[in-house]
Amino acid sequence: AQSVTQPDIHITVSEGASLELRCNYSYGATPYLFWYVQSPGQGLQLLLKYFSGDTLVQGIKGFEAEFKRSQSSFNLRKPSVHWSDAAEYFCAVGDFGNEKLTFGTGTRLTIIP
């Protein structure tokens, strides 16, 4: 069965600093990988996705993620965070066959001035 691990429950970074959120997955075939962001009381917004091809994918709001098959990782990065980036971030792996998304437990991002 597929699974996703987000080892960091909570991360605090200063505004303007760089950010990396970790995500490790377990899946038997080529994974479909996603990063979503959730603001308080809101649904999830898709930041970026990886299906195939270039392992470095660009998303919205200046985010990018790199798929590393050898490490089973799909870490999310941003070179300079803004206060508006404070939110909960979820990594997910999708099974195209049964169309199910399995989410990690999320990483809460706090931005300090």
Partner 1 sequence: GAVVSQHPSRVICKSGTSVKIECRSLDFQATTMFWYRQFPKQSLMLMATSNEGSKATYEQGVEKDKFLINHASLTLSTLTVTSAHPEDSSFYICSARAGITHRFQETQYFGPGTRLLVL
Chain positions contacting partner 1, by CB under 8 A: 32, 34, 36, 41-46, 49, 51, 90, 94, 96, 99-106
Nearer residue to partner 1 within complex by CB, 17 or 46: 46
At residue 45, φ and ψ (nearest 5 deg) are -115, 130
Token duo for residue 105? 């437990």
CB of 92 to partner 1, least distance (A): 8
Shortest CB 18 distance to partner 1, Å? 25
Give how far Cα 49 sits from Cα of 40, 45, 68, 97, 111, Å.
22, 11, 14, 17, 24
- Please choose, from the candidates 43, 32, 84, the residue with its C-alpha nearest in 3D space to the C-alpha of residue 60: 84
Which of 5, 15 has the CB closer to partner 1? 5
Q: How far is the CB of 27 from partner 1 (least distance, A)?
A: 15
Of 37 and 81, nearer to partner 1 (C-beta) is 37
Q: How far apart are CA 91 and CA 109, in angstroms?
A: 13
